[in-house]
């Protein structure tokens, strides 16, 4: 493909911006976000001892993964990390029966999987 790098940048840009945006809007209000998450997950079987540290790590992880996807650094590993993050989020959303959040998380996961498939399919033909 002649312009694979350019095209692939624009294909990964939407999901990178979504992750980056999720992280960046939560970072300035980290304490409030953590409190909200703990309150939201009260009915979950997941212990608060796990939710609290995760609520502080999540925005940082989202922002970092967004940047890494945008610049294309260690693409396969970044995709693996993003898919693992989506899986953890889906597990948490399932535990409180938040089906609408799962839809958005699944869309992200399918998009990330599609990027991975597209990358693997075309990387060998790119000069």
Q: How far apart are the C-alpha atoms of 63 and 96, rounded to whole Å?
A: 25
Query: Which tokens belong to 78?
Result: 């970044």
Residue 37 to residues 32, 42, 69, 88, Cα–Cα distance (Å): 9, 9, 25, 14
Number of domains within the chain: 1
Tens digits of per-residue pLDDT, 32-55? 999 999 999 999 999 999 999 999
Cα–Cα distance measured from residue 112 to residue 16, given in angstroms and rounded to the nearest whole number: 10
Are the C-beta atoms of residues 113 and 2 closer than 8 Å to each other? no
**Tokens representing residue 38 in the block:** 């703990």
pTM above 0.85, yes or no: yes
Report the 10 Å Cβ neighbour count for 87.
Answer: 12
Structural domain range at position 77:
4-123
Task: For Cα atoms 104, 4, 12, give the angle at the middle one, nearest 5 degrees.
Answer: 20
Instruction: Calculate what percentage of the chain has a pLDDT beyond 70.
Output: 95
Q: Tell me: pLDDT of 113 over 70.
A: yes
């Amino acid at each position: 493909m002649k312009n694979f790098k350019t095209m692939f940048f624009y294909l990964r840009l939407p999901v990178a911006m979504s992750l980056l945006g999720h992280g960046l809007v939560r970072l300035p209000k980290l304490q409030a976000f953590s409190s909200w998450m703990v309150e939201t997950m009260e009915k979950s079987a997941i212990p608060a001892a796990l939710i609290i540290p995760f609520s502080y790590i999540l925005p940082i992880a989202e922002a970092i993964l967004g940047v890494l996807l945008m610049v294309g650094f260690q693409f396969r590993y970044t995709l693996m990390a993003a898919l693992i993050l989506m899986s953890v989020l889906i597990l948490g959303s399932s535990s409180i029966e938040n089906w609408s959040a799962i839809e958005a998380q699944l869309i992200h996961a399918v998009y990330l999987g599609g990027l991975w498939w597209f990358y693997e399919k075309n990387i060998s033909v790119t000069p």
